[in-house]
Amino acid sequence: MVRDVTGKHPLYFEAILQLRDVSQVVIDFAEEELVKNRISVPKTEKVKNGWDYYIADSNFTKGLGKKLQQEFGGELVVTSSLYGQKDGKEIYRVTILFREASFKKDDLVEYRGEEYGVKTLGKEIILQAVNEGKKLHVKYREMGKIKKKGISL
């Protein structure tokens, strides 16, 4: 369902999608989803390490963030802040931050001094120890502590 923004201010937005440290493939995917679903994007802004997309539909933006995480693996942070009130109801603006992982499925990585193979990038990172085969579930907030070493076979 396409959100009707008829009658809204030309710069009206409900959410900001922040793409940080992402590849061109991620940017293309996000932009294709916005076009395919005819979502109003009144403003885009190039920032130091990525892009900000001001989007008129917060529910779509949350869904797009989840799609990006499922498709590419990475950190997804959803925050909201009170923007104002309308008809006695509180209005919130949502910010969706997506930061792509520097490693992919099947990569060989080092985490806490040990070597692991990356098994899955979903809601969390699943690593499998190279030497004894034990699996480890790692939250995306720990993503910066995982260093890529190569591609495991």
Question: Which residue ranges make up each domain of the chain?
Answer: 15-100, 107-151
Q: HEC string of the chain?
A: CCCCCCCCCCCCCCEEEEEECCCHHHHHHHHHHHHHCCCCCCEEEEECCEEEEEECCHHHHHHHHHHHHHHHCEEEEEEEEEEEEECCEEEEEEEEEEEECCCCCCEEEEECCEEEEEEEECCCEEEEECCCCCEEEECHHHHHHEEEEEECC
pLDDT at 81: 84
pLDDT at 8: 57
Residue 91 has pLDDT above 70, yes or no: yes
Q: What does the pLDDT look like over 10-68, one tens digit per residue?
A: 678 899 999 999 999 999 999 999 999 999 898 999 999 999 999 988 999 999 999 99
Q: What does the pLDDT look like over 71-89, one tens digit per residue?
A: 888 999 999 888 777 788 8
